[in-house]
Structure 1
Amino acid sequence: MKSIIKVIGLVLLLLMSASAKIENKIDVDVLTQSSKSWDGALLPNYANGQPEISILKIIIPPCTELPLHKHPLINAGMLLKGELTVVAEDKTTLHMKAGDTIIELVNKWHYGKNEGHEAAEIIVFYAGIEGKPLSIEK
Structure 2
Amino acid sequence: MSKNNQETQVEQLAKSQSSWTGDKLPHYEQGQPEVTILKITIPAGTKLPLHKHSVINAGVLLKGKLTVVSDEGKTLHMKAGDPIVELVNKWHYGINEGKEPAEIIVFYAGVEGVPITTKKSKN
Which band: TM-score by shorter chain? over 0.9
TM-score by length of 1: 0.83
TM-score by length of 2: 0.93
Identity of aligned residues (%): 62
Q: Please state whether the residue corresponding to 1:95 is helix, strand or coil.
A: strand
For 1:60, the equivalent position in structure 2 comes to: 42
State the structure with bigger RCO (CA 8 A, min sep 6), 1 or 2.
2
1:82-93 mapped onto 2 (5 Å cutoff): 82-93=64-75
For 1:101, the equivalent position in structure 2 comes to: 83
Query: Unaligned regions of 5+ residues in structure 2, if any?
Result: none
Question: Please, what is the CA RMSD of the aligned residues?
Answer: 1.2
Structure 1, residues 93-138: CA drift from partner, whole Å, max 9, x if none? 0000000000000000000000111000000000001111110011
Deviation, structure 1 residue 24 = 3.1
Count of residues in Structure 1 that have an aligned counterpart in Structure 2: 119
- Say which of 8, 11, 17 aligns to 1:26: 8
Amino acid at match of 2:85: I
1:99-138 mapped onto 2 (5 Å cutoff): 99-138=81-120
Amino acid at match of 1:127: A
Deviation, structure 1 residue 90 = 0.7
Amino acid at match of 2:86: E
Asked which structure has the greater CA Rg, the reply is 1
Structure 1, residues 73-107: CA drift from partner, whole Å, max 9, x if none? 10000000000000000110000000000000000
